[in-house]
Amino acid sequence: MTKKKGGVFTKFYIALILIFLYSPIAVMIITSFNKGKTVVWKGFSLKWYGELFKDKAILGALVNTLTIALLASFFATILGTMAAIGINNFRGKKRAVIQNVSNIPIISPDIVMGVSLMLLFAFLGNIFNFEMGYVTVLISHICFCVPFVVLNVIPRLRRMDQSIYDAALDLGCNQFQAFFKVVIHELMPGIISGFLMSFTYSLDDFIITHFTQGAKFQNLSTEIYAMLRRKIPPTINALSTLLFVTIIIIMIIINVRDRREEKRNSGR
């Protein structure tokens, strides 16, 4: 790419794409501040945001969503980091195979993941006599978040100078001390990226939650979906706007972090 200013056509083209991409969201955000109940503009108001926080069902769903997202990304980060280290210790063909297998949940359609998890829980539920709900949703979310952590941590492991670990052992660390005192610092950027990515994917998941939630559990997306089937309350616009903003903020954090990291590395 050159630093030359793009022509009028380039600018127009980019504007068109951005409009195409963001106009639905823009409409939603604008509507969320509408006084009226429909898309017809009746003046600015925050009343739907107010309503939103009075709605017990929505607030319950919000709490579910946030706690699931936090717990799922927390456990996924631990499991994923461990898995990444394990995978990285394999050599050659074995490593390639295992790494690709661990990516399957990312590639496979959500609906497949959702249905298969539902079948698994139904099957196990029959044997051990439990019903699907909070815990099954949590397990499912951990399940699809782990590969994202693995994906973020492995490149850090590859880039890390292996002899740093040896040096830690050499200076008197046992294997665990070597990991927690040295290696983890090198992996941290990858671990954090993995955590944030898991968090956003868990926040906005609908399909997998839908299949594994059971009768009583609702998170935000399933709750919105359920509300839509009855009528379309304008609070949904407010809620979706809040969700959108949250995810955008997290994505910006990830990007800024990566950029800074790049700068630091290239500056060496």
Binding site for other proteins (CB under 8 A): 161, 163-164, 166-174, 177, 181-182, 185-186, 268
Q: Which of 202, 224, 198 is nearest to 212 (CA)?
A: 202
List of residues 6+ apart from 211 with CB closer than 8 A: 114, 115, 117, 118
* Nearest distance from C-beta of residue 197 to other proteins, angstroms: 23
Give me the phi and psi of 157, to 5 degrees please. Answer: -65, -40
Contacts for 120-126 with beta carbons within 8 Å, 24 or more apart? 121/212
Nearest residue (CB) to other proteins, 126 versus 174: 174
CB of 76 to other proteins, least distance (A): 24
Q: In the complex with other proteins, which residue's Cβ is closer, 170 or 258?
A: 170
Cβ proximity of 236 and 102 under 8 Å: no
| Minimum gap (Å) between residue 184 Cβ and other proteins | 9
Min CB(108)–other proteins separation in Å? 35
Q: Which is nearer to other proteins, 5 or 268 (CB)?
A: 268
Nearer of residues 32 and 81 to other proteins, judged by Cβ:
81
CB of 185 to other proteins, least distance (A): 4
Q: At its nearest, how many Å lie between other proteins and the CB of residue 3?
A: 30
**Cβ closer to other proteins: 182 or 242?**
182
Longest dimension (CA), the chain: 72
Nearest to 140 by CA among 197, 71, 196: 71
Residue among 109 and 267 whose Cβ is closer to other proteins: 267
**Under DSSP, is residue 192 helix (H, G, I), strand (E, B) or coil?**
helix
Cα distance between residue 97 and residue 174, in whole Å: 30
Query: How would you label 140-161 residue by residue, b for 16+ Cβ within 10 Å and e otherwise?
Result: bbbbbbbbbbbbbbbebbeebe
Taking the C-alpha atoms of residue 71 and residue 78, their distance in angstroms, rounded to an integer, is 11
Sign of the CA dihedral with 105 first, then 110, 115, and 118 last: positive
Nearer of residues 168 and 203 to other proteins, judged by Cβ: 168
Q: What tokens appear for 15 in the block?
A: 């504007």
Q: DSSP E strands: which ranges in 73-221?
A: none
In angstroms, what is the minimal distance from the CB of 81 to other proteins?
17
